[in-house]
């Protein structure tokens, strides 16, 4: 076994020596234009990769548009809950009235009351589902709108190509260098853009 290892090591030593000899004694050659272009195009060796990140919580709390969307969300959520509560109260009141009349109702009246309550309940469920679906679509639309504004700003912010990637800093980052936290600059720029756009709309 030792002899086999010695043979392998000796072979590797010879191979490395030969490669070094070839490397130091070869004449400098100019690569073809096609080869040079391929290297420049595909190799990352000539590219500088730099990462930056933004803190989404800070964006949410300090970006004017995001704060307005958050307030609008609270208003719409409250309005939705109020309307659903109103429907549930109306259903309960109608049910209680039928229950009060039940002892004096005929069988035909009882059947009509049962059908009325079934229709009312079905309408209430359908209305509730429609409201929740509409609310969900609104949330998705507003989130996309805010995200798009941030992405568009970041494209302009990084127009000089300084950063290769700009991440949203989430909990899965175990460590991040504060030197690459561009949140404050981004918030400042986003708010300036928002104020300028708001003035133009007035």
153 with 107, same domain?
yes
27 with 97, same domain?
no
104 with 150, same domain?
yes
Which tens digits make up the pLDDT trace of 89-132? 999 999 999 999 999 999 999 999 999 999 999 999 999 999 99
28 with 123, same domain?
no
31 with 65, same domain?
no
81 with 56, same domain?
yes
62 with 11, same domain?
no
Which tens digits make up the pLDDT trace of 64-96? 999 999 999 999 999 999 999 999 999 999 999
HEC per residue, the chain: CHHHHHHHHHHHHHHHHHHHHHHHHCCCCCCCHHHHHHHHHHCCCCCCCCEEEECHHHHHHHCHHHHHHHHHHHHHHHHHHHHHHHHHHHHHHHHHHHHHHHHHCCHHHHHHHHHHHHHHHHHHHHHHHHHHHHHHHHHHHHHHHHHHHHHHHHHHHCCCCCCCEEEECCCCCCCCCHHHECHHHHHHHHHHHHHHHHHHHC
66 with 26, same domain?
no
85 with 125, same domain?
yes
Residue 14 pLDDT more than 50? no
122 with 82, same domain?
yes
- The number of distinct structural domains making up the chain is 2
Q: Which range marks the domain in which residue 145 is found? A: 51-201
20 with 109, same domain?
no
6 with 58, same domain?
no
């Amino acid at each position: 076994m030792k002899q086999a290892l010695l043979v392998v090591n000796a072979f590797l030593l010879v191979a490395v020596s030969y490669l070094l000899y070839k490397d130091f004694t070869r004449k400098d050659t100019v690569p073809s234009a096609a080869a040079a272009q391929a290297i420049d195009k595909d190799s990352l060796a000539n590219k500088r990769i730099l990462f930056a990140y933004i803190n989404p919580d800070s964006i949410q709390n300090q970006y004017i548009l995001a704060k307005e969307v958050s307030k609008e969300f609270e208003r719409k959520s409250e309005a939705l809950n109020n309307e659903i509560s109103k429907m549930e109260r109306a259903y309960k009141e109608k049910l209680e009235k039928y229950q009060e009349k039940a002892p004096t109702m005929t069988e035909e009246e009882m059947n009509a009351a049962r059908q009325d309550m079934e229709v009312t309940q079905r309408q209430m469920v359908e209305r509730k589902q429609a409201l929740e679906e509409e609310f969900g679509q609104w949330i998705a639309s507003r989130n996309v709108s805010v995200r798009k504004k941030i992405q568009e700003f970041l494209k302009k912010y990084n127009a000089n190509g300084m950063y290769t990637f700009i991440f949203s800093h989430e909990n899965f980052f175990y460590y991040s260098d504060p030197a690459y936290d561009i949140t404050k600059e981004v918030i400042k720029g986003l708010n300036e853009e928002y104020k300028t756009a708001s003035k133009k709309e007035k």
